[in-house]
Amino acid sequence: MPVYNLYMGCSVPANYPNYEAAMMKVAEALGMEFEYMPDVACCGSPNLRAIDYFGWLVVNGRTLAIAEKNGHDILTPCNGCFGSLKDVQHHLKHDSEDRARVNKELRKHDLEFKGTIKVRHLVEAIYTDIGPDEIRRKITKPLDGVGIAIHYGCHLLRPADVTEFKPEMLEELVRATGAKVVEYPLWKQCCGATILPVNEPLAIRLARDKIRSMKEAGAEYATVVCPACGNQLDLQQLGLKESYGEVYDLPVLLYPQILALALGIGEDAVGLRMNRVAADSILGHLKG
């Protein structure tokens, strides 16, 4: 059974325990062992990278060094954490000067960054280590071909030379549940989350454009794999009635919620009621 160092970050446990619960259930059903990492907290987000590049390197270098101690890959369900860890790992592997500077700080705490493990996003690990075929074998309640639009999130996809993630991975994982993947024009566009602190109306307009694009392409549901993207597409959707006079009523599910339901896990166990736009109609699309 593959074992992973689970790095939750701060947003999933605080804002999306339904994401956390669903991924733990999925891991159990698929035979993946997630071990919560000790002594870690927040990755700092792109905001920390913006104001304090070196601090961001040390914070994330420390997390990576702690994970290296037991040799298991580090896994996170958050695109923000994934982007930070993956980018810092990439930078420290290629810049020996910064690596020496970071390790000088880490040695004060008996830690050293060596770059010996991989940084994994939850969905990449499910795709690579379990795979769509094995998932199909385990599914007991497949979806009935209902159309789902995927929002990948920028920091999962780009920069591609750093993230090493391919959109097809999540596409195949959604199809493995029996759902249809709905293509839509703005599939690559950002959800806007990063600029909420500096330009909230613009951030909301980006989320709205995205939701609209999904809906116009015929999506009945949307799926995300990041708490920040979830916030933008699900929670912010409720505010669009007031700001834009528009109601989209597009339920947004975290991918492990969809997978868990198809694996026969109950809706309460994956916190379906916590989704902001009511998502329980998806239960009517489960066969078997």
Interface with another protein, residue 192, by CB under 8 A: yes
The span from the CA of 177 to the CA of 258, in Å, is 8
Residue 77 burial (C-beta neighbours within 10 Å; 0-12, 13-18, 19+)? buried
Cβ proximity to another protein: between 151 and 220 the closer is 151
Q: Which residues contact 158 (CB under 8 A, 6 or more apart)?
A: none
Query: Which string of DSSP letters, residue by residue, matches 113-168?
Result: ----S-EEEHHHHIIIII-HHHHHHH-SS-B-S-EEEEE--HHHHSSHHHH---HH
The span from the CA of 269 to the CA of 250, in Å, is 22
Q: What letter would DSSP give residue 270?
A: T
Cβ proximity to another protein: between 84 and 223 the closer is 84
Q: What is the chain's alpha carbon radius of gyration, rounded to the nearest angstrom? A: 19
The per-residue b/e assignment along 265-276, b for 16 or more CB within 10 angstroms, e otherwise, is bebeebbbeebe
Interface with another protein, residue 40, by CB under 8 A: yes
Cβ proximity to another protein: between 87 and 124 the closer is 87
Choose the binding region for another protein from 48-56, 130-138, 216-224, 236-244 (rule: CB under 8 A).
Answer: 48-56
In the complex, minimum distance from the CB of residue 186 to another protein, in angstroms, rounded to a whole number: 9
Residue from 207, 154, 210, 201 nearest 182 by CA = 210
Choose the binding region for another protein from 39-47, 128-136, 234-242, 243-251 (rule: CB under 8 A).
Answer: 39-47
Query: 261, 286 in Cβ contact below 8 A?
Result: yes
Binding characters for another protein, 223-252, by CB under 8 A (x = yes): ------------------------------
Interface with another protein, residue 197, by CB under 8 A: yes
Sole binder of another protein in the list 159, 185, 239, 264 (CB under 8 A): 159
Choose the binding region for another protein from 11-19, 67-75, 141-149, 218-226 (rule: CB under 8 A).
Answer: 11-19
Sole binder of another protein in the list 3, 217, 235, 274 (CB under 8 A): 274
Please report, to the nearest 10 degrees, the dihedral formed by the alpha carbons of residues 239, 242, 245, 250 taken in order.
20
Interface with another protein, residue 100, by CB under 8 A: no
Question: Which residues of this chain interact with another protein, rule CB under 8 A?
Answer: 8, 10-11, 13-15, 17-18, 20-21, 24, 36-42, 44-55, 58-59, 62, 91, 95, 98, 105, 109, 154-155, 157-160, 188-190, 192, 194-195, 197-199, 202, 206, 269, 271, 274
